[in-house]
Chain A
Amino acid sequence: MRLLIEKYEHRVAATVIGMLGFCPVAEDIGQETFLRFYQSLKKFRGESNVGTYLTRIAINLSLNELKRRKLSRKYLLSYYENKVKNLPAQDEELEKRELRELIHKALQKLEPKFRSVIVLRLIDGYSTKETARILKLPRGTVLSRLFRAQIKLKEILKPLLETKVKHE
């Protein structure tokens, strides 16, 4: 089990943190994902690969968490903002980290249904077909949500994108 956790931790982390942002709950949901997988090992028939199966559990748990925590969202965002403020300054790694945090902050502004397609497609790198299968949605819906989500993200990240263009 340890080997399996080590192998798929990155994938689960990308999905859960993408969905919930940097918060203590994200780690808890990550642990719960593996726990659920362990408990459902008997039911796992190998129809999808382990990574996809784990992603499905992770995305469902994250969506449930978002529903459950809708009211306390302010708390999560303030936790996140404190984390950003407490980062050490002037470092290449810091720039990367800040960028990552900005991206995740932008993601948090999307509705969960749009966020989930962005996380699976753009962060996890699943194809639109796989994304549709994981979310149990028609492929057309995934494409339409991707379009709308990207339009919104582009608006949110406009200053960052323009700066990046100037740098390059």
Chain B
Amino acid sequence: MNKKMLRLMYKSFDIELKQREKIKLNEAIMGAKKLQEEKEQIEKMRGLFEKSRVYSFTPHFAEMVIQRIREKEPLCHIELINEWLRSVFSRFAFVSVILLIALVTYNLILGEMLTSDELIFSSGVIFEELFNLPLF
């Protein structure tokens, strides 16, 4: 059997062949009984596959899927709450740090431990000394 024609015949079941290929294939099929038989067998086999299609799972498939979705959902809610809390606290933490710095600076100025010159580093106080100052 011509292998090239056999391949072309299989191809013809899946895609539209070019006109030239169609003519070639038809001529080959007409001239070879084996190729004709092969074609019949492929048609039958493909028909069997179409018929063998399984259409459904067990009767309560949809309910079982819905049940599994429901089981997963509480986890999703917890994850959402966690995410929300994290975002709120990260903003809160940032504002708190700013407030803390402002409060410390205010206290130091109020307690005359830090002058306005020292605050903008224009006096002789070096940066490390700032950490040695009592805060309250």
Does residue A161 face the partner (Cβ distance < 8 Å to B)?
yes
In the complex, what residues of A have CB within 8 A of residue B65's CB? Answer: 1, 5, 31, 34-35
Interface string of A94-106 (1 = CB under 8 A from B): 0010011001100
Minimum CB–CB distance for B47 against chain A, Å? 9
Complex Cα distance, B18 from A120, in Å, reads 24
User: Are B45 and A27 in touch, CB under 8 angstroms?
Assistant: no
Secondary structure type dominating chain B contacts: helix
User: Are B58 and A27 in touch, CB under 8 angstroms?
Assistant: yes
Complex Cα distance, B14 from A157, in Å, reads 20
Does residue A53 face the partner (Cβ distance < 8 Å to B)?
no
In the complex, what residues of A have CB within 8 A of residue B72's CB? Answer: 35, 39
Contact of A1 among B42, B51, B69 (CB under 8 A): B69
Does residue B64 face the partner (Cβ distance < 8 Å to A)?
yes
On chain B, the number of residues with a Cβ less than 8 Å from chain A's Cβ atoms is: 30
User: Are B52 and A147 in touch, CB under 8 angstroms?
Assistant: no
User: Are B54 and A17 in touch, CB under 8 angstroms?
Assistant: yes
Contact of A104 among B7, B14, B15, B52 (CB under 8 A): B52
- Stretch binding the partner chain, chosen from A7-15, A43-51, A67-75, A76-84: A7-15
Q: A31-B64, A31-B68 are in contact. Are A99 and B56 (CB under 8 A)?
A: no
Considering only CB atoms, which chain A residue lies closest to B69 in the complex?
Answer: A38
Q: A103-B48, A123-B50 are in contact. Are A147 and B11 (CB under 8 A)?
A: yes
In the complex, what residues of A have CB within 8 A of residue B44's CB? Answer: 161, 164-165
Minimum CB–CB distance for A40 against chain B, Å? 13
User: Are A9 and B56 in touch, CB under 8 angstroms?
Assistant: yes
Does residue A57 face the partner (Cβ distance < 8 Å to B)?
no
Complex Cα distance, B72 from A125, in Å, reads 33
Complex Cα distance, B10 from A108, in Å, reads 22
User: Are B55 and A13 in touch, CB under 8 angstroms?
Assistant: yes
User: Are A150 and B52 in touch, CB under 8 angstroms?
Assistant: no
Interface string of A142-168 (1 = CB under 8 A from B): 010011001001100100110011000
Considering only CB atoms, which chain A residue lies closest to B10 in the complex?
Answer: A147
Complex Cα distance, B25 from A20, in Å, reads 36
User: Are B56 and A150 in touch, CB under 8 angstroms?
Assistant: no
In the complex, what residues of A have CB within 8 A of residue B54's CB? Answer: 13-14, 17-18, 22, 100, 104
Contact of A103 among B49, B61, B64 (CB under 8 A): B49
User: Are A153 and B14 in touch, CB under 8 angstroms?
Assistant: no
Minimum CB–CB distance for A70 against chain B, Å? 23
10 closest A-B pairs by CB = A103-B52, A122-B49, A100-B52, A5-B62, A17-B54, A10-B55, A34-B65, A147-B10, A128-B14, A27-B57
